[in-house]
Amino acid sequence: MNDDAIRAPQPNWCLYLIECRNGAWYAGTTNDIERRYAMHLAGRGAKYTRANPPLRLLGTRAFADRSSASKAEHAIRRLPRAQKLAFLQP
């Protein structure tokens, strides 16, 4: 048996930024960006995006684990809008 068969794949968490219909930017984290964005579009995502539907996905940034992604989400919410897109760059 090789090492790859023994090791379980690690989830790839990411931080994402969505532009909403009201002009606001919504930040969130997920381990499946396609599924999560589809949920937001269908009105089954966060309470905020149900009231303010998404227009487009502005960007994402990958993280090794949920904790790192959550810390980054907290940090990006405190940044001025001009710095938010730059924050998503690795």
9-87 folds as GIY-YIG endonuclease (3.40.1440)
Go through 6-29 and write b for each residue having 16 or more CB atoms within 10 A of its CB, e for each that does not: eeeeeeebbbbbbebeeeeebbbb
pLDDT tens by residue, 6-36: 565 566 999 999 999 999 999 999 999 999 9
pLDDT tens by residue, 47-79: 999 999 999 999 999 999 999 999 999 999 999
Question: Global pTM?
Answer: 0.84
Q: Greater confidence, 80 or 4?
A: 80
